[in-house]
Amino acid sequence: MKQKVILLKGTHRNQSVIFFQFEKDEKIIKILRQNFSVLWSATNRMWYAPEQGFDLQKLLQVMKGLAWIDYSAIRYKSPPPATHPHHTESKESVPDLPPHMADKLAQFTRWMEHKRYSHNTIKAYRDMVKLFLMFFQDRDTTGITNEDVVRFVNEYMVKRNLSFSYQNQLVNGLKLFYREVEKSRMDIEKIHRPKREFKLPNVLSKEEIKGILEAHANVKHRAMLSLIYACGLRRSELLNLKPTDVDSKRMVLVIRNAKGRKDRIAPLSAKVLEMLRTYYKAYKPKRWLFEGQYAGTPYSAKSLQSVLKQALVKANIHKPVTLHWLRHSYATHLLEGGTDLRYIQELLGHKSSKTTEIYTHVSTKQIQQIKSPFDSL
Task: Give the C-alpha separation, 314 to 184, whole Å.
Answer: 56
pLDDT tens per residue, range 14-50: 788 898 988 888 999 999 999 998 999 887 788 999 9
| Active-site residue, from 119, 151, 160, 324 | 324
- Catalytic choice (33, 139, 259, 314): 259
Confidence tier at 283 by pLDDT (50, 70, 90): very high
The pLDDT value given to residue 307: 95
What confidence tens digit (pLDDT) does each residue in 147-161 have?
A: 777 777 767 766 666
Give residue 326's region: left, alpha or beta (phi > 0; psi -120 to 50): alpha
Percent of the chain with pLDDT over 70: 80
Higher pLDDT, 347 or 310: 310
Does residue 63 surpass a pLDDT of 90?
Answer: no
Domain ranges of the chain: 1-74, 86-197, 206-367
- Window from 72-81, 104-113, 122-131, 355-364 with minimum mean pLDDT: 72-81
pTM of the model: 0.56
Distance (Å, whole) CA 133 – CA 292: 38
Write down the catalytic residue from 126, 221, 327, 333.
Answer: 327
Mean pLDDT in residue range 343-355: 82
Q: Give the tens place of pLDDT for each residue, 187-245.
A: 655 565 555 555 677 889 999 999 999 999 999 999 999 999 999 999 999 999 999 99
Does residue 117 carry a catalytic annotation?
A: no
CATH 3.40.50.300 fits 206-367, yes or no: no
Q: In what side-by-side order are the strands of the sheet with 46-50?
A: 39-41, 46-50, 15-21, 3-12, 67-70
| Average confidence (pLDDT) over 343-351 | 85
Comparison of pLDDT for 145 and 241, the residue scoring more: 241
Average pLDDT over residues 133-162: 72
Angle (CA) 100 106 109, round 5°: 145
pLDDT of 366 higher than 70: no
The amino acid at residue 160 is R
Average pLDDT, the chain: 81
CATH no., domain 86-197: 1.10.150.130
Look up 324 and say whether it is catalytic. yes
Q: Based on the residue annotation, tell me whether 262 is a catalytic residue of this protein.
A: no
Q: Which of 234, 242, 256, 314 is catalytic?
A: 234
Is 259 noted as a catalytic residue in this protein? yes
Three state DSSP letters for the chain: CCEEEEEEEEEECCEEEEEEECCCCHHHHHHHHHHHCCEEECCCCEEEEECCCCCHHHHHHHCCCCEEEECHHHCCCECCCCCCCCCCCECCCCCCCCHHHHHHHHHHHHHHHHCCCCHHHHHHHHHHHHHHHHHCCCCCHHHCCHHHHHHHHHHHHHCCCCCHHHHHHHHHHHHHHHHHCCCCCCCHHHCCCCCCCCCCCCCCCHHHHHHHHCCCCCHHHHHHHHHHHHHCCCHHHHHCCCHHHEECCCCEEEEEEECCCEEEEEECCHHHHHHHHHHHHHHCCCCCCCECCCCCCECCHHHHHHHHHHHHHHCCCCCCCCHHHHHHHHHHHHHHCCCCHHHHHHHHCCCCHHHHHHHHHCCCCCHHHCCCHHHHC
Of 45 and 319, which is predicted with more confidence? 319
Whole-number Å distance between alpha carbons of 359 and 78 = 37
